[in-house]
Amino acid sequence: MHESKVSRRTLLARAAGVAGTLSSAGIGGAFLLRGERSPYAGGVWLAGDHHIHTKHSADGQYEIEQQVAHAAAHGLHWCVITDHGSRNHDKVALEQAYPALAAARRKHPGMIVFQGLEWNIPAAEHGSVILPVTDGEARRIAEFEARYDERNQSREGTPANTEADAVAGVKYLQGLTPKPVFIAHHPARRGLDSPHELRAWSDAGPDVTRGFEGTPGHQAATLVGKARGAYGGKPSAGSFPGYPAESYRTWGGYDWYVSEVGGVWDSLLGEGRPWYITANSDSHRHFRDRTVVDATTLATTGAVTPTDRKADEATNSDFHPGEYTKTWVHAAHRAPRAVLEAMRSGNMFTVLGDLVDRCELFAAADGRTAPMGGTLRLDRAGREVTLTLRVRVPPRPNFGGKRPVLHHVDIIAGDVRGRAADPDTMKNPHTRVAVTLAASEARREGEYLAFSYRFPDVRRSFYARVRGTNTAVTAPRQDGPGVNPWDDLWFYSNPVTVRVPE
């Protein structure tokens, strides 16, 4: 992933010699033909954050209501409270945190607030468990945590701490009705989530396991002299040995699993798995907040205690929810269940610094269309498929005081060839950047920039996904210590799949 500039020559070179061609009407050519209807014609776009901490985490600080207010103030429509599991956190969640969450819902009726948990996954990293809004949501999350959280000790016996325990936990979630959503956190940060574990969770929870964070939180870390995303480690005894050194760093703010074309994410998509990416703040303490927090009270009261003292230097690494990262879902309507189903279906995209606030990606053929997360099924091989992308750049400054300008987008395509023989496969060699399209050559459709790309003679099942940036580099760079996150912005879509009959 070396840095280089996008040029007209690059655009033409990438457009040549691949399965697709630019629309004959140009990059911004006609998109909906033969009566096709955009799958985004109805529904509503809703921005959210599924990884937020409060005073009920050892490294947190704020009240639940404060975090919900932060989310609302930064343009979010939904959020998930995901405090860390700890020794007796299940009891704290049920007796203290849940009443506070219910109060925050009443105070902010315009926000959809989910009960969640940052699960300490046995023998692995962390993950969001997001519960549907029901009368029994608090009891269910507490029971799950007591049974399957690696650090919880509420139940007698040894805490769960094996890969089998993690699979059992996912199976437990799979058995719940209505079903929750499970998303792995910062997967490459410490190298603990091996490819075979990701596949095992997918197999154990086909309706609840929905992917991993494409971009981690802690994006303000470089503003206080730390590694972007808190990705500054190296392999340890529990790390998967197949991961290279560069996987322990972010690339353009995104996890290496995602930024590496043909890498871990593409290896999962190449198997046809419904594996999607999200973005979130992982908000604990704002990077400008120097409040000294007494964490010793967590054990006695179930919450940390902010003091009146101020630290001499800024050491926190986080933005507020929605301030820098957003996950946008395309839901049928504005309701909790609709948001969860949009996440489950994969009809969502991720973005840094409000580079775009709409991303409509869909495939079309013979009067049928499929959106992100969806599957377009062809009646026979040899059909032509048109991929359409419509994005909107916000007309207002972002929360960094800048007005980003989209420079270009990449259309990335990969074959779907079935399950890999080796569960630790971390490559899809049949993935490539099909074409790089300059924003300056897009067609204007009102507030939108529109692009199209044709796959003229489709004979193998494939998926397509998109990324875009405000920079002139052809691929994300490994993040160094001095990068300003507001100057290095990216968005990534989730994939749309095209299936060809066997």
Per-residue pLDDT reduced to its tens digit, 397-421: 999 999 999 999 999 999 999 999 9
pLDDT at 423 over 90: yes
Q: Quick one: average pLDDT of 44-71?
A: 97
CA 117 to chain centroid:
16
For domain 8-41+356-499, the CATH class is mainly beta
Query: How many CA atoms, within 13 angstroms, populate the side-chain half-sphere of residue 96?
Result: 18
CA 353 vs CA 221, 279, 286, 413, 484: distances in Å: 15, 11, 16, 25, 11
Percent of the chain past pLDDT 90, that is, above it, reads: 88
- What pLDDT is recorded for position 465? 98
> For the chain, what is the mean pLDDT?
92
**3-state DSSP assignment of residue 472:** coil
Q: Quick one: average pLDDT of 10-31?
A: 37
What string of DSSP letters covers 38-78? -TTSSSEEEEEEEEE--TTSTT--S-HHHHHHHHHHTT-SE
- What pLDDT is recorded for position 61? 97
- What pLDDT is recorded for position 14? 43
- What pLDDT is recorded for position 12? 37
Dihedrals φ, ψ of 43, to 5°? 80, -170
- What pLDDT is recorded for position 27? 32
Q: With contact defined as beta carbons under 8 Å apart, do 376 and 365 qualify?
A: yes
CA–CA distance, 333 with 75 (Å, rounded to integer): 17
Query: How many CA atoms, within 13 angstroms, populate the side-chain half-sphere of residue 33?
Result: 16
Q: Quick one: average pLDDT of 165-187?
A: 97
Q: Quick one: average pLDDT of 87-114?
A: 94
> Which pLDDT band, with edges at 50, 70 and 90, does 248 fall under?
very high
Burial class (CB in 10 A: 0-12, 13-18, 19+), 16: exposed
- What pLDDT is recorded for position 294? 98
pLDDT at 54 over 70: yes
Regarding predicted confidence, which is higher, 8 or 283?
A: 283
CA–CA distance, 73 with 62 (Å, rounded to integer): 15
The residues with which 306 forms a beta bridge, in sequence order, are 293
Nearest residue to 277 via CA among 170, 374, 411, 183: 183
pLDDT at 36 over 90: no
- What pLDDT is recorded for position 262? 98
CA 463 to chain centroid:
18
CATH 2.60.40 domain locations along the chain: 8-41+356-499
Q: Provide the residue type at 455 as one letter.
A: F
- What pLDDT is recorded for position 151? 86
| Helices 195-204 and 163-174: angle between axes, nearest 10 degrees | 30
Q: Which residue has the tokens 């924003």?
A: 439
CA–CA distance, 354 with 30 (Å, rounded to integer): 27
- What pLDDT is recorded for position 157? 66
User: For strand 462-469 and strand 490-493, is the pairing parallel, antiparallel, or unpaired?
Assistant: antiparallel
Residue 80 makes CB contacts below 8 A (sequence gap 6+) with 48, 49, 50, 51, 52, 113, 114, 115, 116, 128, 130
pLDDT at 86 over 50: yes
CB neighbourhood size of 405 (10 A): 11
pLDDT at 186 over 70: yes
pLDDT at 8 over 50: no
Dihedrals φ, ψ of 277, to 5°? -115, 155
Element (DSSP H or E) covering residue 120: strand 112-120
- What pLDDT is recorded for position 2? 39
- What pLDDT is recorded for position 159? 65
Q: Which residue has the tokens 């074409």?
A: 435
Q: What is the pTM for the complete model shown?
A: 0.94
Lowest mean pLDDT of 76-80, 149-153, 193-197, name the range. 149-153
Q: Which residue has the tokens 């840095």?
A: 3
Q: Quick one: average pLDDT of 19-36?
A: 39
Percent of the chain past pLDDT 70, that is, above it, reads: 92
Considering only CA atoms, give the Rg of the chain: 22
Lowest mean pLDDT of 20-34, 275-289, 303-317, 356-370, name the range. 20-34
- What pLDDT is recorded for position 158? 63
CA–CA distance, 102 with 178 (Å, rounded to integer): 20
The residues with which 450 forms a beta bridge, in sequence order, are 390, 443
CA 14 vs CA 11, 434, 449, 461, 471: distances in Å: 5, 6, 21, 21, 18
> Which pLDDT band, with edges at 50, 70 and 90, does 16 fall under?
very low
CATH 3.20.20.140 domain locations along the chain: 44-339
CA–CA distance, 213 with 259 (Å, rounded to integer): 12
pLDDT at 237 over 60: yes
Q: Quick one: average pLDDT of 366-390?
A: 97
Q: With contact defined as beta carbons under 8 Å apart, do 327 and 279 qualify?
A: yes
Regarding predicted confidence, which is higher, 104 or 12?
A: 104
CA–CA distance, 320 with 287 (Å, rounded to integer): 9
CA–CA distance, 429 with 215 (Å, rounded to integer): 23
- How many residues comprise the chain? 502
- What pLDDT is recorded for position 33? 44
pLDDT at 308 over 80: yes
Which superfamily is assigned to 44-339 in CATH? Metal-dependent hydrolases (3.20.20.140)
CA 431 vs CA 434, 458, 466: distances in Å: 9, 15, 12
Lowest mean pLDDT of 26-40, 167-181, 252-266, 361-375, name the range. 26-40
CA–CA distance, 305 with 315 (Å, rounded to integer): 18
Q: With contact defined as beta carbons under 8 Å apart, do 211 and 345 qualify?
A: no
Q: Provide the residue type at 207 as one letter.
A: D
- What pLDDT is recorded for position 494? 98
pLDDT at 24 over 60: no
- What pLDDT is recorded for position 154? 73
The residues with which 435 forms a beta bridge, in sequence order, are 411
Q: Quick one: average pLDDT of 274-281?
A: 98
pLDDT at 254 over 60: yes
Regarding predicted confidence, which is higher, 27 or 320?
A: 320
- What pLDDT is recorded for position 483? 96
- What pLDDT is recorded for position 25? 29
Q: Going along 201-271, which residue ranges are E strands?
A: 209-215
